[in-house]
Chain A
Amino acid sequence: MESSSELRILYEKNEKDVFRNLALEEAILLSLNEGNSSNTFRLWLNDSSAIAPFHESIFDLIDVEFCLDEGINIARRITGGGAIYNDCGNLNWSFFFNRKPFEKYSLKDLYSYFSSFIIKSLTQVGIDLNFHEPNWLGYEGKKVSGMAGYLKNNAILIHGTLLISADLTKLERVCKQHYKYPPVLNLSSIKPLDTEKVANIILGSIEETFQSSFKIHFDTSPNEREEQLLSGLKEKYSSIAWVFEK
């Protein structure tokens, strides 16, 4: 049984398989819900991928033909929201927390609370992001991060993207409904930043912020229970049925 007073910081910087990485999101959430994982902050990167939300048709949201032509993976995540495009110029961040202390929080509060740590990290490099309802972060009105969430009985997952130096031309081609959302912006167009630099800034900031209330430990791989769950979930996430048949 893991302690809820611990915060694990997980960053597997060489694991870029989108199907495996999305399966791990669910595995950590399940394991935390069972009490077999501690609260976790995770940073993760994916190779070039289009990721659809849980509930909508891939063909309505993603330019499948373009993805096939460009060798862009097509995947589906457990959370709702819109379609996103990931490549190594985008850093994904996730908070997995025990739900109990947050039971009275509204969803807006949850998004605002967890993304505040991303905002705080980036102030260190002179970038002032703003939280926008319902769930995105912006710089001068342009979107740099979108969020989604999943609430289980005992566990919360709030995760988001962070555009640093992503291929925005591809993003706009891949996500068919991008015009419905605010225009997007890479952090690298504000300051000279790359993914690794931003990852290090965020990791340091998270450690500093949480160390007074949590026992922090860094990990570079999932725990045993998560690995166990992951091995069962990987097949689902890369199956045609999961990705295409919604």
Chain B
Amino acid sequence: MANIIAMPRVDPAMEKGTVLKILKKIGEKVSKNEPILKVMTEKATFEVNSPYEGYVVKIFHNEGEELNVGEPILEISESPVASQEIGVVKEEEKEILATPAARRLAREHGIDLSKIKGTGPQGRITQEDVLQYISQSKSDTTELALSPIRKIIAQRVEKSHREIPQLTVNVNVVVDKLLRHRSEHGISFDSYFIYCVSRVLKDFPAFNSEYKDGVLIKKKDINVAFAFAVGEELYMPVIRNADMKSLEEIDREHHDLMEKAKNSKLELKDLQDYTFSITNLGPYNVIHFNPLIYPPNTAILGIGSIEYKFFNEGNTFSIKPTIVLSLSFDHRVADGMQAALFLNKIKDMIENGKFE
């Protein structure tokens, strides 16, 4: 026997409710009184328990849909349907994930949500996906909604470009000692620069600051963010108080943060309170570039790829690995001379293997 779970009236004044979450999938077993739905009215969120024991065999409406009280949401059957049947039901009632705002907008424009590709988690359709679909249908171009992280980066770099008068200076650095140390100790390339930068920043507080309303706010802590891409997402995890940590400690933390990013385990605290950033395009064969300052910082260090160059030392020619370091800085708070001195201090540490 099949039983229907409909939008309940959880409040005498309730006429409609939104299905926030369906806690069981088609084919899953449900116990009597087990939470099966989360429903929201304009006033509160409710968990709805199943009055029946059995198996979910049909889902009539999807998460995010606003329904009248009494409209069916789920069908529970006493016996599980055959797997083939489940497949058919699943196909027919293919779940469309969408936010409430997206559903509202789609309804208003008479748009079939199944025609829209969602960019939210698990392919959830967002309001912006619907807006893009609408504008796309009016033109022959394809527009893609930005992911939440990409959207934040877009806002940050736009702000940087719009508000910060920035200048980039470059310096060549020989990295033979770094590479030797690296092969002996198995430390990541970025970690050396986080280490060196954190030491040098103490002498250049203007680059470990925030510029706001005509005032330079010097930061007490030295928290270095490093850019790290996972698929199409760019993260800037932060190594806090890097100046208090050894190269090995920095490297361990760097490794842990990269693992967290790869496994989608980064927490917001891992991305906050950065006071300086570094970005490394070396692995992508970029010789040098002008990195854009990541607000609210006043500077960012770019690392280019390794190039082998000829050196004439006395009468001896040698070939050494080099990279270009590029410092973009806020010209309101410092001049080219300070930037050059900053880079030369890092150069000195790297070229002379000052890693302890």
A interface vs B, CB < 8 Å?
Answer: 19, 54-60, 64-65, 68-69, 71, 73-75, 78-80, 106-108, 110-111, 134-135, 148-153, 235, 238-241, 243-246
| Min C-beta distance of B159 to chain A, whole Å | 7
The answer to whether A57 and B41 have CB atoms under 8 Å apart is no
Interface size of B by CB at 8 A reads 46
Could you tell me the distance between the alpha carbons of A172 and B212 in the complex, rounded to whole angstroms?
Answer: 20
Cβ-Cβ contact count across A and B, 8 Å cutoff = 122
The answer to whether A153 and B268 have CB atoms under 8 Å apart is no
Name B20's contact: one of A54, A107, A238 (CB within 8 Å). Answer: A54
Q: Which residues of B contact A239 (CB under 8 A)?
A: 265-268
18 residue pairs from A and B, CB less than 8 Å apart: A54-B20, A55-B18, A55-B99, A57-B127, A59-B128, A59-B148, A106-B13, A107-B14, A134-B42, A134-B43, A135-B43, A149-B44, A149-B45, A151-B44, A152-B47, A238-B269, A243-B268, A246-B120
> Nearest 7 CB-CB pairs, A to B?
A149-B44, A244-B148, A245-B121, A238-B267, A107-B11, A65-B155, A107-B43
- A54-B45, A59-B148, A153-B47 are known contacts; what are 16 more A-B pairs with Cβ within 8 Å? A54-B20, A65-B155, A65-B159, A68-B295, A73-B272, A80-B20, A107-B44, A110-B44, A150-B46, A151-B10, A235-B267, A238-B267, A239-B266, A244-B149, A244-B152, A245-B124
Name B47's contact: one of A60, A151, A245 (CB within 8 Å). Answer: A151
Name B43's contact: one of A19, A58, A111, A153 (CB within 8 Å). Answer: A111
Residues of B2-22 whose CB lies within 8 A of A: 10-14, 18, 20
Q: Which residues of A contact B13 (CB under 8 A)?
A: 106-108
B interface vs A, CB < 8 Å?
Answer: 10-14, 18, 20, 33, 35, 40-47, 49, 64, 99-101, 120-121, 124, 126-128, 148-149, 151-152, 155-156, 159, 264-269, 271-273, 295-296
Q: Which residues of A contact B18 (CB under 8 A)?
A: 55
The answer to whether B296 and A60 have CB atoms under 8 Å apart is no
Q: Which residues of A contact B99 (CB under 8 A)?
A: 55-57, 246
Q: Which residues of A contact B49 (CB under 8 A)?
A: 153
Could you tell me the distance between the alpha carbons of A75 and B267 in the complex, rounded to whole angstroms?
Answer: 11
Could you tell me the distance between the alpha carbons of A73 and B124 in the complex, rounded to whole angstroms?
Answer: 25
Nearest opposing residue in chain A for B122, CB measure: A245
Q: Which residues of A contact B272 (CB under 8 A)?
A: 71, 73
The answer to whether B45 and A58 have CB atoms under 8 Å apart is no
A150/B295 contact (C-beta < 8 A), A68-B155, A240-B266, A246-B99 known: no
The answer to whether B267 and A240 have CB atoms under 8 Å apart is yes
The answer to whether B12 and A106 have CB atoms under 8 Å apart is yes
| Min C-beta distance of A62 to chain B, whole Å | 11
Q: Which residues of B contact A55 (CB under 8 A)?
A: 18, 20, 40, 64, 99-100
Could you tell me the distance between the alpha carbons of A71 and B212 in the complex, rounded to whole angstroms?
Answer: 13
Interface core residue of A79, A107, A111 (most chain B CB under 10 Å) = A107
The answer to whether A56 and B100 have CB atoms under 8 Å apart is yes
| Min C-beta distance of B241 to chain A, whole Å | 17
Q: Which residues of A contact B64 (CB under 8 A)?
A: 55
Could you tell me the distance between the alpha carbons of A246 and B42 in the complex, rounded to whole angstroms?
Answer: 18
Nearest opposing residue in chain B for A78, CB measure: B45
Could you tell me the distance between the alpha carbons of A139 and B341 in the complex, rounded to whole angstroms?
Answer: 59
Name A241's contact: one of B41, B101, B121 (CB within 8 Å). Answer: B121
Nearest opposing residue in chain A for B120, CB measure: A245
Nearest opposing residue in chain B for A156, CB measure: B44
Q: Which residues of A contact B273 (CB under 8 A)?
A: 71
| Min C-beta distance of A144 to chain B, whole Å | 19
| Min C-beta distance of B238 to chain A, whole Å | 13
| Min C-beta distance of A107 to chain B, whole Å | 4
The answer to whether A80 and B267 have CB atoms under 8 Å apart is no
| Min C-beta distance of A106 to chain B, whole Å | 5
Nearest opposing residue in chain B for A150, CB measure: B45
Q: Which residues of A contact B126 (CB under 8 A)?
A: 57
The answer to whether A79 and B268 have CB atoms under 8 Å apart is no
| Min C-beta distance of A167 to chain B, whole Å | 16
A79/B45 contact (C-beta < 8 A), A57-B101, A153-B33, A245-B148 known: yes
